[in-house]
Chains A and B, each alone.
Chain A
């Protein structure tokens, strides 16, 4: 039982670390396109890891309802498909209305 709790804590910690990296990237990067790099990827992976840790926790503590992990797996799949698509939609709208990307050496926007 201690082994399972340890694995859950490790998965949750790595997930929270990636979420923090995503939020710090949103603050530090100098341009709109680079900020979306940080959030569109790190957020998705961090959430996937947190929900994976909760699935493992559910399997070994609440064994009477085995259909809840299936619901959470659907949620992971949906997030992995929906988050990049929303990122692509915003980037496409910004590019087609004329927002120019940032090159090395300019000032922050």
Chain B
């Protein structure tokens, strides 16, 4: 069972590496394709356990849900960057920084990373520290309203938990 899992991971890593080679080079003659196959095989043999690991059932469904989550997040990024621009250019600089702490129900690696990235990209908050076993986040907020949007409303945590199905 373990040997079959290992060959599957090597195959997936090889496919992704070869796809990157073709997309980034743009040359399709025999020499470059064979060089691409050789390099992809060597890289896949050396580092096959870095890309896909852990329990990943229903990975395709999670990827599709992630693709649906990204446009909402882009809209939030644009809205919130206008808010930061207003705070920077205002002559009185209305900021009131504080450190917040809250708990979530996410446990897997991908979900924690996605939430930490989203928190750092939407204006007003930066992730300081993530605790792995209990899903705690330490967050530095720029003023009262963005911190409250994360602490009281909890829309972002619910959306990420919807993507990865880890209520």
Contact = CB atoms under 8 A, between A and B. Distances in A.
Whether A and B touch (Cβ < 8 Å) is answered with yes
**Secondary structure of the B contact surface, majority rule:** mixed
Contact of B81 (A45, A71, A91): A45
Interface string A30-46: 01011011101110110
B88 A38 contact: yes
A59 interface: no
Nearest to A23: B88
A59 to B, nearest CB: 16
A21 B85 contact: yes
A69 to B, nearest CB: 11
Contact of A42 (B26, B84, B116, B117): B84
The range of chain B's interface size is 20 to 34
Contacts of A67: 23-24, 26
A103 B129 CA distance: 19
B127 interface: yes
Contact of B97 (A17, A25, A33, A85): A33
The range of chain A's interface size is 35 or more
Given A37-B123, A70-B23, A104-B96, A92 B117 contact: no
Interface of B: 23-24, 26, 77-78, 80-81, 84-85, 88-89, 93, 95-99, 116-117, 120-124, 126-129, 138, 140, 142
